[in-house]
Chain A
């Protein structure tokens, strides 16, 4: 006898699956594509998040959740033993290595326990941490600088000062016991020595003497998770009785960073929503068609005692089985696609793109895809479950709602008329298919137009004011720019000035000055930042609370930090360029006289009545010298880019005046142009300097900007295109499926029409017309919607960005002949298949 373990519903589910092979193929393909896109987008989102976090962590220099730069041994023990603290790293500072070879790169000689070294991304990958007093572990960057081979057992001599206020240097020689790959995005290199050496160096002192670094104890702690690090740290410190300790929470874990990662990933999430929509449109349609054509089968089952619930379970079961087939393939394909796309997408410097293989990706994508299938099957399942046994016998595959009562036409049956009527036999399905096709087409047009609008010239002007720009190492430092940093040395400027083909230079100094704002300026601020403006500001800038705090402080008469820039040459010309002036007029000659400053306002699209800074004509005292505000400017990125206080008032004065006020100032940025023939020489000069003198010097060249521009457009284009192409493919698949099933399900009807006199040729033409109507309608809607999407949305999106709007519908024009071809080919192929059976045979087939 039969085995009877499986349930009847299960048996029926599986058997009825076997019956509809064509449908299954289409559905599985749809599931594969949906899953593939989900996986790719998930992989990219995860990997982006991982890479960005890694980059932020490297920039902050540690993976510890909170760090303290000055603790006692006793406090360290207490905090380390606190139950909330899962990891604690400890370090004792000895000093800075000051070998001439290391100039420009900070190398810190320290003792660190294993955890601390790991937290600082400085744990030896070869060898081990120092144990004996004459051992040392270094990174490869430092070893290279010192000219020492990366081999254990090498002798390393470092010079350092025990008392940083005296000039007396100590020279210590060690044996290399471990090394690791150095990373330039980490601010300083570590030189690990043993605890014994460190204690010996600071002569056993429990803490550093006033103003000294030798003997400074540093600590990094981590918790279970990164939620509310601030609060957890406060609690630990309070519990340990040392709330006065200055613990810094790691900004890489802050909400701002999370927000920034989220924003980076936003396009991926939008893509997922679109993929879900496309997946829904096709899977729903496939099941709807299949249920509708099998409705009598379901009616029969109901007559024989299957409940609506059991029928629904059967349909959902079929959806699950198809998912089981499609999802694994989609996962694999999607992950592979993710691996291919990731390097294209990541254009971060100094970071190898890491592909995340987090199981969450696969579980998430599988769940998402499965959810899409289930949601898509829900309505068809309800339709099948609701079928009344009697009605099923009469059911024809047309909308039951709006039925025409009569048709006042005496023209008789024309082929085109019949084809048109056939198209609307099932309104919902026709609309669904057209929507599905249109979605992909419109998206393609949208992305294409958006990319085509990207304008290289505008982009470069905004980001690079000169062929070459060099920034001080501390320009982007988290703690703020250090005016004492001397990355751009006089020697370098001399070398650059001696370059052949030099066409122009520009200097930029900067310094922060604290002083109260004038009453007029305060009024300007308050008038500009209306409630509405503040809300708007708060909505997009995560640093808003801090900004608002400082803002209120200044408005109440507190001192405001003024970032005073001293500029000359090409950077001054650029910043005071016509397009950047918001108020007042710039007169180069009078400005050079030294009695004027320029105020920099917020970045605005168009000049406004009131600007939040000093008014033109106002007098300002800086370092006891009086200046008059000449004009208000829009900020120019190449000038203001870099760290600055959350709330600051930027002012620009001539570089000459700046150096008069603050003699001996160091350059923050330097700009120069060379003729095309000497580009190479300039690049070599800068690279050599970077390698030998200052690894942290940032070089911006118009050329690298161009490359970055390309990387940026390419990555976004690849993303956009891959999503829209898959969606368009899904649309086409949907179209093919609908056409094919529409023809096959009318097999009998065609036989009937043929039996009363329609010729094969006529039938074929009628079908071709049907296909054509589909495509023409789709194209009509796609052209209209794309025109709106491109003409309105893209135009609005690219306004103000680095783009010049360009109206184009290229992808749509390209797809038009393909779709029209399909309209003819599909009916033709289907008809060929139908023809194999004679009219009589087709008329007789019962089910």
Chain B
């Protein structure tokens, strides 16, 4: 059984007469442990799809299934809880909380869940990502690459089954990009995670196991 799937997923923005079909009857299925890249021009609906997969936004019609959860059937509160337990997000602009330091940022989703972070595991991640010496730094004292590594650490911290990344390397130079993707691949292999990543960069897309192309809200594999 696939870990991630959509059926007839459609998302429209705006009201008549200015309706925009961001996603149009999208049917995809992703298996556990896959590394999938989503590519397409800007405005093609990549981000919308990713947001749908992660339960950040609700579909106009159709459904999204993660594991055996039908996301459309969860309430907003449940969806949030589901997200912080099952899904790790990585954004292009990192989305670090400026008032929390690195360690706090990383452990935030876990602490919000009322759980104690697994220190050993987090130390492993920090070591893997080369952040051991930065744990008390505030986000604005870090470079872009470092900030994205913190975001990756945060996405991994709750041991999610799925990692959704929205152009994680969009703001980074090519050397750092390489490094970040490398790290993502290593950690996902190590912890058996599924990765869905949006990218503009064909070189990075090539490293993925599978490519999904989106144009005008429709999927072409």
Instruction: Give A residues with C-beta under 8 Å from B.
Output: 1-2, 4, 7-9, 11-12, 15-16, 18-19, 297, 300-310, 388-390, 847
Q: Which residue of A lies closest to B84 (CB)?
A: A305
Asked if A303 contacts B111 (CB within 8 A), the reply is: no
Residues of B within 8 A of A (CB): 51, 56-57, 76-77, 80-81, 83-85, 89, 91, 95, 97-100, 103-104, 107-109, 111-114, 116-117, 119, 135, 154
Q: A300, B97: Cβ atoms under 8 Å?
A: yes
CB-nearest residue of chain B relative to A846? Answer: B93
Quick check: A15 and B112 within 8 Å, CB to CB?
no
In the complex, chain A residues whose CB is within 8 Å of the CB of B119: 1
Residues of B with C-beta under 8 A to A302? 80
Closest to A1 in B: B119
**What's the minimum C-beta distance from A22 to chain B, rounded to whole angstroms?**
16
Task: Tell me if A's interface is mostly helix, strand, loop or mixed.
Answer: helix
Cα of A199 to Cα of B107 in the assembled complex, Å: 87
Q: Out of A1, A9, A388, A390, which one reaches B112, CB within 8 Å? A: A9
User: Shortest Cβ distance from A304 into chain B, in angstroms?
Assistant: 6
A309 to B81 CA separation, bound complex (whole angstroms) = 11
Nearest A residue to B113 by beta-carbon distance?
Answer: A305
Q: Which residues of B contact A308 (CB under 8 A)?
A: 76-77, 80
- Chain A residues with CB under 8 Å of B111's CB are 4, 7-8, 11
- Other than the given A7-B111, A8-B108, A303-B91, 13 more pairs (CB < 8 A) read A4-B111, A7-B114, A8-B104, A12-B99, A15-B99, A15-B100, A300-B95, A303-B95, A304-B108, A304-B109, A305-B81, A305-B113, A309-B77
**Which of A304, A307, A389 contacts B97, CB < 8 Å?**
A304
Hey, which chain B residues are within 8 Å of A7, CB to CB? 111, 114
- In the assembly, what is the distance between CA of A18 and CA of B51, in Å? 32
Please state if A307 and B77 are interface contacts (CB–CB under 8 Å): yes
Task: Give B56's nearest chain A residue, CB to CB.
Answer: A389
- Chain A residue at smallest Cβ distance from B78: A307
C-alpha gap A11/B100 in the complex (Å): 8
**Do A305 and B100 contact each other (CB < 8 Å), given the known contacts A4-B116, A300-B95, A390-B51?**
no
In the complex, the chain A residue whose C-beta lies closest to that of B93 is: A846
Cβ B98 vs Cβ A304 within 8 A: no
Least Cβ–Cβ distance between A610 and chain B, in angstroms: 69
Contact B51 A301 (CB under 8 A): no
- Interchain CA distance A297-B100 in the complex, whole Å: 12
In the complex where A389-B56, A390-B51 touch, is A306 in contact with B80 (Cβ < 8 A)? yes
Q: Are A306 and B112 in contact (CB under 8 A)?
A: yes
**Cβ–Cβ contact A847 & B98, under 8 A:** yes
State in angstroms the CA–CA spacing of A307 and B108 once bound together: 12
19 A-B pairs within 8 Å (CB atoms) are namely A1-B103, A1-B119, A4-B107, A4-B111, A9-B112, A15-B99, A15-B100, A303-B56, A304-B108, A304-B112, A305-B85, A305-B108, A305-B112, A305-B113, A307-B112, A308-B77, A310-B112, A389-B57, A390-B51
Question: Which A residue sits closest to B136, measured CB to CB?
Answer: A2
Q: Specify which chain A residues have a CB less than 8 angstroms from the CB of B57 in the assembled complex.
A: 388-390
Residue in A closest to B96 when the chains form the complex, CB atoms: A300
**In the complex, are the beta carbons of B77 and A303 less than 8 A apart?**
no
- CB neighbours (8 Å) of A11 from chain B are 100, 104, 111
Given contacts A4-B116, A308-B77, A389-B56, contact A303 B89 (CB under 8 A): yes
Tell me which residues across on chain B come within 8 A of A16, comparing CB atoms: 99
Assess the B77–A12 pair: CB atoms within 8 A.
no
Q: Nearest Cβ distance between residue B71 and chain A, in whole angstroms?
A: 14
Q: How far is the CB of A29 from chain B (nearest CB, A)?
A: 24
A306 to B84, CA, bound (A): 8
One of B51, B103, B104, B109 near A305 (C-beta < 8 A): B109
**Separation in Å of the A446 CB from the closest CB of chain B?**
46
Question: Which A residues lie within 8 Å of B56 (CB)?
Answer: 303, 388-390
Cα-based distance from A258 to B98 in the complex (angstroms): 58
Q: Which residue of A lies closest to B76 (CB)?
A: A308
* Beta-carbon nearest neighbor of A306 in chain B: B112
CB of B54, distance to nearest CB on chain A (Å): 9
* Contact flag A304-B99 (CB < 8 Å), given A4-B117, A309-B77: no
Cβ of B148 to closest chain A Cβ, rounded Å? 15
Minimum CB–CB distance for A303 against chain B, Å: 6
Output the least CB separation between A180 and chain B (Å): 65
CB pair A2–B100 under 8 Å, yes or no, is: no
Residues of B within 8 A of A12 (CB): 97, 99-100
B45 to A: closest C-beta gap in Å = 13
